[in-house]
Amino acid sequence: MQHLVETLGAIGEQPGGGIVRPVYSPAWVTAREQLATWMREAGLVVRGDAVGNLFGRISGETERTVLTGSHFDTVKLGGRYDGALGVLAALAALRALLKEGFRPRKSLEMVALCEEEGSRFHSNFWGTRGILGLIGPPELDDLRGDDGVSIREAMRSVGLAPDEFQQAVRDDLDAFVELHIEQGRILYDEGLPLGVVRTITGLYRFLATVEGRTDHAGTTPMDLRRDAFQAAAEMAVEMTRIVSAVGRPAVVTTGYWDVQPGAWNIVPGLVRFGVDLRHPDEAVKQRLGSEIRAAGEAVAARRGVTVQYEMVGDVPPNDMHPEIRSAITGAAEALGVRFIDMVSGAGHDSQVMASRVPTGMLFVPSVDGRSHSAAEFTSPEDAARGATVLAATLRRLAE
């Protein structure tokens, strides 16, 4: 599998390192052709759908289908493993099952999903949403990249018929299994080869707008200021303290800041900052959300500024399906592969798939926890072991 990782990873790779392979780009087209070639060579029946997903199928006795795969687009300057490893592990698993002469009762299919990352359009999960019928017609024109090109135009440029996007919808799926790199460092630190995802974490995201007063930086005494930045910074520290006190796996990040007017010699009068809170328990997530909002309001009142919140995302956690989880854990146990139950702190195709199809997910270690960077790496041994567990899982689900 390692040479496939390297060959695919070279498509869209930049001279300084890192892959740029957004949906419907020339590199994306090349990668898709390469994958189709490998899938045909493995003996799969290959076809594409209306949004650009690529499928390789082993027909069983019934049309009901067990699907496995991940996405093959990348973030800007992404690594070789995010998404790609799930596609290549699916290919390796199906190839191995064919070689063993396995005759599935249910049909077995792999998918290279066209888009997950939202790195060109804000189209996150476009491939999975296409399969599930969750794309809204206005999106074809509303979704535009930084270059102004709409997703409709981009689809047409690679030979797809955008108006036929509804033909991508599937109603024959009985299961979806996704292998993915962990993108964190829990497995790596514990020295474990496999994680079985229990839940994909919930997201609570809001924009805080703090308003104080702009004043002269030289003439306004400290005790008379209503510095919006100082207040916002204290809010961020206070919110972080509250969430840290809860312990793992609660996380909060305040990574987006807009400070106005943004000058050396003016006391900031207006600050917007983004709060991204995640927890796999919906009740805890909502409680923490309320607590950190209240903490921000308390800081505002004490410092004589105002704060307003605008919700930008409130996504509940998505539990993986118990039957798919037990197929994965059963396969791992039978193979003697050690594993732990995990929460995924990152979003994945599986969380969307889980809304309609029984879904399960397995993680392999990311060396040093690195991801969304050229430094992404999973050892060939861990990748191969993950693909073996995936194959055994598919066998259980399809026989």
Nearer to Zn ion, 83 or 202 (CB): 83
Nearer to Zn ion, 183 or 254 (CB): 183
Rounded CA-CA distance 369/181 in Å is: 9
66 bridge partner residues: 108, 175
Opening angle at CA 322, ends 191 and 114, nearest 5 = 75
Q: How far is the CB of 334 from Zn ion (least distance, A)?
A: 27
Contact 197, 187 (CB under 8 A): no
Nearer to Zn ion, 8 or 275 (CB): 8
Distances (CA, A) of 63 to 106, 173, 293: 7, 9, 50
261 conformational bin, left if phi > 0, alpha if psi -120 to 50, beta if neither: alpha
Nearer to Zn ion, 58 or 114 (CB): 114
The stretch near Zn ion (CB under 5 A) out of 46-54, 75-83, 141-149, 206-214 is 75-83
Contact 348, 362 (CB under 8 A): no
**Residues in contact with Zn ion, shown as a per-residue x/- string from 199 to 228 under the rule CB under 5 A:** ------------------------------
Residue 188 in 3-state DSSP?
helix
Rounded CA-CA distance 229/357 in Å is: 46
83 is a site residue for Zn ion (CB under 5 A) = yes
Nearer to Zn ion, 77 or 266 (CB): 77
Q: What is the DSSP code (8-state) at residue 362?
A: E
Q: How far is the CB of 144 from Zn ion (least distance, A)?
A: 23
State the residue for tokens 């704060």.
307
Q: How far is the CB of 234 from Zn ion (least distance, A)?
A: 35
Could you tell me whether strands 45-48 and 54-58 are parallel, antiparallel, or unpaired per DSSP bridges? antiparallel
Opening angle at CA 342, ends 336 and 347, nearest 5 = 125
Nearer to Zn ion, 125 or 229 (CB): 125
296 is a site residue for Zn ion (CB under 5 A) = no
Nearer to Zn ion, 83 or 130 (CB): 83
Rounded CA-CA distance 188/349 in Å is: 23
82 is a site residue for Zn ion (CB under 5 A) = yes
Q: How far is the CB of 111 from Zn ion (least distance, A)?
A: 14
Q: How far is the CB of 149 from Zn ion (least distance, A)?
A: 23
Q: How far is the CB of 348 from Zn ion (least distance, A)?
A: 6
Q: How far is the CB of 19 from Zn ion (least distance, A)?
A: 12
Contact residues toward Zn ion (CB under 5 A) are 82-83
